[in-house]
Amino acid sequence: MDQVSIIGAGIVGMCTAVRLQQLGVPVRIIDEREPGTGTSFGNAGLVSIDSCIPIAMPGMLRNVPRWLADSTGPLSVRPAYVPKAAPWLMKWIRSGASLKSVSAIASALRQLHKDAIEKYRTLLGPEDFSQAIRVSGQLHVWESRQKSAGEILADRLRAENGVVVRELAGEEIFDIVPGMSRVINRAQYYDKNGYVANPYLLVQRLLDIFISNGGEFLRQKVNGVSPLPDGQGYRMITTCSDLSAQRLVVCCGAWSSRLLQGVGIQVPLETERGYHVAFDQSALDVPLPVLHKERAFGITPMVDNIRVAGFVEIAGLDAQPDMQREAALIAQAQRLFPALDVSRKKSFWLGFRPSTPDSLPVLGEIAAMPGLYLGFGHGHTGITGAPASAEILANMITGTRNSIDVAPYDISRF
């Protein structure tokens, strides 16, 4: 088979490249950045194989005004960006309006996530896997004593999809994480979930594998894509090259919709901006990822930092960072872990989650444009969804039958 070109060297692009190589396909990757230095660099690093709940759920709309009114809350929308974001936000609300819709989405998310750890083992090999992935479990915590209607529905969706959850209360919570504040009243423990030792290092290790297998990496910005005049492939104009590819995979994350405008493809992709504050490892002793579900942030103990990540900010790709989010994240983390040594802060970061209205990625070939494949839109679960997405795309490119129903991820659903 001829060489496949992939635009985008984040976690989805790198996993797809390595999987294609494992199937005997030569691959070229093009990205203006060093692999792993975009959104894949600063995320929470969670490998959540039991994650199957979409962001939009029935009854969510009633909470939005309260979230928006709280300057330290989980959701913010920049006022100047509201007109541009409004169509996507309406689709987002509609996607979670019915039980039938969220049930179908939950099933599709479960199929995409449930084998992530084993698929990483296949991509990385045993030795690299043991260094990159920690199967530690995850603890999800709440301050409220009673479950909301949305949480009860989420429990039901998890049960329908075979997710086993251990409910915790009282001292059994603090037996797992002793240093956590007693403001926490209940928790759920997911023993099969985990995290990556460092997301950037994971992508870099995939790059090493890719290069050692004969892969070609071009560090160039792709300024535009268009079909070749004979219809037998695609042209890519970069900052310093004029390239072509018979088969092209777009894995540009939040920038994918801009690039696809050159081939006339419209996709409802929005940027859920997220932030993290990183601390030195000595700042806090935490044995596993802890996610505060009401305040929309989490703490992950990585190999070289303690990372506090969270929030959703709708403001597009071009707005300046909200520097107040740094103090807000630190305050939230201190509330959950009073012993956190904030003097050990290392860095503050902003990233761009590529998000569709229904929480499902866009995966597959464009029906009207043979040879053009899409792989983006994973939102909050890119690390978890990347290996299965890579397998789906690689199978499509090589004509191999996929073992799961891939229709829920097709762009035609929009």
The side-by-side arrangement of strands in the sheet containing 234-238 is 222-227, 234-238, 242-245
The whole-number average pLDDT for the span 196-211 is 98
Q: What percent of the chain has pLDDT over 70?
A: 98
CATH 3.30.9.10 in the chain, residues?
52-110+135-193+270-353
Q: Please state, in angstroms and rounded to a whole number, the distance separating the CA atoms of residues 211 and 164.
A: 39
- 4-41+201-268+359-413: CATH topology is FAD/NAD(P)-binding domain (3.50.50)
Tens digits of residue pLDDT in 61-78: 777 777 766 666 778 899
Tens digits of residue pLDDT in 93-140: 999 999 999 999 999 999 999 999 999 999 999 999 999 999 999 999
CATH 3.50.50.60 in the chain, residues?
4-41+201-268+359-413
Q: Please state, in angstroms and rounded to a whole number, the distance separating the CA atoms of residues 216 and 248.
A: 14
Q: How many residues does the chain have?
A: 414
Give long-range contacts, CB 8 A cutoff, 24+ apart: 334-340. 335/181, 335/183, 336/141, 336/180, 336/181, 336/183, 336/184, 336/290, 336/292, 336/299, 337/179, 337/180, 337/181, 337/284, 337/286, 337/299, 338/179, 338/181, 339/179, 339/284, 339/285, 340/279, 340/283, 340/284
Residue type, 315: A
Tens digits of residue pLDDT in 280-314: 999 999 999 999 999 999 999 999 999 999 999 99
User: Coil, strand, or helix at residue 268?
Assistant: coil
The mean of the pLDDT values for the chain is 95
Burial pattern 89-124, b for ≥16 Cβ within 10 A else e, equals bebbeebbeeeebbbebbbbbbbbbbbbbebbbebb
Per CATH, the number for 52-110+135-193+270-353 is 3.30.9.10
